[in-house]
């Protein structure tokens, strides 16, 4: 990209796993320092960038060691970088911040420049702090240096750093050929806490965040953030205690969308998941929540053979969501919503608000030992009643009550060899939906 070019970059992709930074509006990629020069040469370029993605930083850190943050610029690069800062005629505050980049560290230059892009709206970070190999050694490698510096910049002056960022995504590496590969990576909870302090943050997506069984501490002493503009929080495959989730929700009092995948590592679980505690935390959002999705993922090899007693399961239930009057979309399993035991569980219309328009009943727990919503006689090692009778009865009962605002109901079933019975359930529920004007779909999974 030429500094005098009339084509302004709307997005930048900083792929630190490669020697280049790619400007999306450019026909070719160029070295990081070269692109910094081009951005700094013309202030219009800085003002035009709205989307930035940093990828593979954590991967590079694992390959090269913690020295990434201290990788010095050459004397020529440092001089050129400082010269272009002065030539850019930037506001004094931005020039000072860039000029104070200690030791001319490349990681620092990346972080500072990103933080001062005045029109930046979306920031995507692909990173990780440790891998599953560290599980065996019980080691805690230092966090990603660039992301740590980004957090420090936010906390030091939130009004000057990322002043207009509304969307932040913290992702871990994931390959299409290995969909479970992201389970190999972890992001420390401390790494992402600073993003809750961004003044305009509206959407925050966090993948594979874990707390290591320790309580989180907000980075500003005595100051819990109040992310009142935050409307959407995505917690993808996270491992956080009930108390720590409560802290995140207390800091996000106006959430409209909460999508949450909770991972239970059966091999290292120290206690049962208390759903009643989580339900109490959700009360913070009863005046704002419109879209809520919650699923449980049992992980590690022991998830397949969990017959032994252990603290890898759930206690209680989310129970009544009747006070969530703005809730329109819900994705949840029946054990989470109504309890582990199907016997004597409440009716769906006793726990769901009347405003629900789209309801998805998931079945991700079907392979858990003694799963009670399959209606199998585990002790007798045989069928007690037709499979999924409890699920079928609950949904039929709900549909026959004609929920006033329900437009769509979706059910997931894992057939595991019961194809004929699954088709029977599907046909009956679809027919019941047609009778009351509700679109019912049943997805049959292997």
- Per-residue pLDDT 10s for the chain (446 aa) are 334 445 677 888 877 544 344 444 433 334 566 676 677 777 788 889 999 988 764 444 444 444 433 445 556 555 655 654 555 454 565 556 556 654 335 666 777 788 878 899 999 999 998 887 766 556 677 777 778 888 888 887 656 789 999 999 999 987 665 767 888 899 999 999 999 999 999 999 999 999 988 999 999 877 889 999 999 999 999 999 999 999 999 999 999 999 999 999 887 788 899 999 999 999 999 999 999 999 999 887 666 565 666 778 899 999 899 999 999 999 999 999 999 999 999 999 999 999 999 999 999 999 888 888 998 876 665 666 789 999 999 999 999 999 999 999 999 999 988 999 999 999 999 999 999 999 999 999 98
Smallest Cα–Cα separation from 345: which of 373, 303, 381, 384? 373
Whether 138 is covered by a domain: the verdict is yes
276: CB partners within 8 A, 6+ apart: 315, 316, 317, 319
**222 part of a folded domain:** yes
Token pair belonging to 314: 């759930």
Let me know if residue 405 belongs to a domain.
no
Residue 114's Cβ-count burial label (10 Å; 0-12, 13-18, 19+) is: buried
Query: Does 31 fall in a domain?
Result: yes
What's the confidence (pLDDT) of residue 385? 78
What is residue 383's predicted lDDT score, i.e. its pLDDT? Answer: 60
The whole domain housing 275 covers 11-329
Kindly give, in sequence order, each residue whose CB lies less than 8 Å from that of residue 340, ignoring residues fewer than 6 positions away.
Answer: 313, 314, 315, 317, 372
Is 186 a domain residue? yes
Q: Tell me, yes or no, whether 431 lies in a domain.
A: no
Kindly state whether residue 400 falls inside one of the protein's structural domains.
Answer: no
User: Which is nearest to 337 in space by CA: 326, 357, 322?
Assistant: 322
188: closest CA among 124, 131, 149, 231?
131
pLDDT value at residue 60: 46
**How far is the C-alpha of 368 from the C-alpha of 296, rounded, in Å?**
11
Count of CA atoms in the C-beta half-sphere (13 A) of 155: 18
Q: How many domains, in total, are found in the chain?
A: 1
Q: Are 186 and 143 in contact (CB under 8 A)?
A: no
- The answer to whether position 421 is within a domain reads no
């Amino acid at each position: 990209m030429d500094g005098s070019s009339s084509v302004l970059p709307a997005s930048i992709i900083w792929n630190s796993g490669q020697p280049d930074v790619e400007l999306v509006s450019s026909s070719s990629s160029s070295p990081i320092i070269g692109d910094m020069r081009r951005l700094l040469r013309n202030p219009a370029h800085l003002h035009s960038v709205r989307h930035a993605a940093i990828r593979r930083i954590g991967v590079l850190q694992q390959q090269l060691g913690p020295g990434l943050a201290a990788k010095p610029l050459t004397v020529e690069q440092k001089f050129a970088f400082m010269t272009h800062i002065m030539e850019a005629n930037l506001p004094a505050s931005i020039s000072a911040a860039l000029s104070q980049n200690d030791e001319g560290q490349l990681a620092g230059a990346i972080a500072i420049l990103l933080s001062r892009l005045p029109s930046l709206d979306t920031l995507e970070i692909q990173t990780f702090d440790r891998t599953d190999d560290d599980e065996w050694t019980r080691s805690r490698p230092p966090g990603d240096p660039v992301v740590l510096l980004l957090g420090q910049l936010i906390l030091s002056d939130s009004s000057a750093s990322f002043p207009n960022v509304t969307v932040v995504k913290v992702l871990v590496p994931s390959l299409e050929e290995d969909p479970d590969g992201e389970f190999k990576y972890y992001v420390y909870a401390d790494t992402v806490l600073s993003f809750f302090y961004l003044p305009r943050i509206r959407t925050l997506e966090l993948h594979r965040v874990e707390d290591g069984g320790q309580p989180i501490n907000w980075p500003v002493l005595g100051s819990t953030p109040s992310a009142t503009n935050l409307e959407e929080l995505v917690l993808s495959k996270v491992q956080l205690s009930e108390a720590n989730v409560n802290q995140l929700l207390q800091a996000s009092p106006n959430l409209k969308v909460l999508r949450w995948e909770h991972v239970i590592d059966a091999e290292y679980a120290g206690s049962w998941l208390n759903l009643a505690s989580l339900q109490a935390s959700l009360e913070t959002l009863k005046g704002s929540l419109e879209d809520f999705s919650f699923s449980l993922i049992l992980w590690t090899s022991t998830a397949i053979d969990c017959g032994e007693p252990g603290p890898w399961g759930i206690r209680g239930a989310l129970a009544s969501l009747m006070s969530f009057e703005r809730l329109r979309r819900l994705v949840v399993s029946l054990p989470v919503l109504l309890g582990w035991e199907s016997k004597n569980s409440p009716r769906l219309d006793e726990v769901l608000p009347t405003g629900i328009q789209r309801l998805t009943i998931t079945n991700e727990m079907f392979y858990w030992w003694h799963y009670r919503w399959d209606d199998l006689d585990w002790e007798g090692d045989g069928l007690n009643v037709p499979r999924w009778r409890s699920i079928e009865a609950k949904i039929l009962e709900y549909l026959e009550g004609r929920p006033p605002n329900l437009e769509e109901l979706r059910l997931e079933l894992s057939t595991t060899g019961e194809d004929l019975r699954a088709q029977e359930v599907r046909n009956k529920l679809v027919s019941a939906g047609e009778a009351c004007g509700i679109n019912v779909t049943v997805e049959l999974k292997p």
